[in-house]
Amino acid sequence: MTKLVAASPFRTREEREREREEKREAVLLAAVRMFNARGYHATSLDDVAASLGISKPTIYHYLGNKEQVLVECVNRGLAMLRTAADEAADASGTGFDRLRAFLCRYAQINMDDFGRCVILTNDEVLSMDSATRFRARKREIDAVVRALIAEGIADGSIAPVDVRFASFALAGALNWPARWHDPDGTLTPEQVAEKLVDVVMNGMAPR
């Protein structure tokens, strides 16, 4: 006689962990979009909680206090930028080609919710420790950009330029879409990135 085994009404540990991560991600996404739209000071965790139909203690449970939520948002964006920088540094091709590939990805990330948060966040809203780590991680990305420029100058694919000045100029130009790009507009982030990078890189091509 076959023994029937009833399905357990209880979730497995893997299911509970997956559900927790999905809920945490939903809270994080709601928060970053509100920070970007309203600004950090004008956004409260009550606002974020209300947008999801949950209580504020639920946000504390998944992410912590308001600054911890912001830090998680900017860290997500910074991690995306660092990954793109590392991939460009390890790629083949001339310095110009690798720099161009990274800048296209850099601009696209800055139009993403979390990359946009990196650009729109002023470090003075963070605690001293968080602000120090925030600035350090941004300097790491800038160092990769400078290295790519220097390598392009060395291999002749980039005109001799002031590396530090060029890095600042590139970042300044490619950070702006985070402030003005409309996700519902006619141009996709990829199209905006291509157009901007074409413009800024033309000034660095060998004469």
- The predicted-structure confidence for 78-96, as pLDDT tens digits, reads as follows 999 999 999 998 898 999 9
pTM to 2 decimal places: 0.82
DSSP, collapsed to helix, strand or coil, labels residue 203 as coil
Listed in order, the ranges of the chain carrying CATH 1.10.10.60 are 13-64
pLDDT digit string (tens) for 37-71? 999 999 999 999 999 999 889 888 888 899 999 99
Residue type, 19: E
Q: What is the per-residue DSSP string for 83-135?
A: HHHHHHHHS-S-HHHHHHHHHHHHHHHHTSHHHHHHHH--GGGS-HHHHHHHH
Q: Compute the mean pLDDT over every residue in the chain, rounded to the nearest whole number.
A: 88
For residues 115 and 128, give the distance between their C-alpha atoms in angstroms, rounded to a whole number. Answer: 21
Domain with CATH 1.10.357.10 in the chain: 66-202
CATH number of 13-64: 1.10.10.60
| Tokens matching residue 69 | 């939520």
The stretches in the chain having pLDDT less than 50 are none
The pLDDT, as a whole number, for residue 79 is 95
What kind of architecture, by CATH, is found in domain 66-202?
Orthogonal Bundle (1.10)
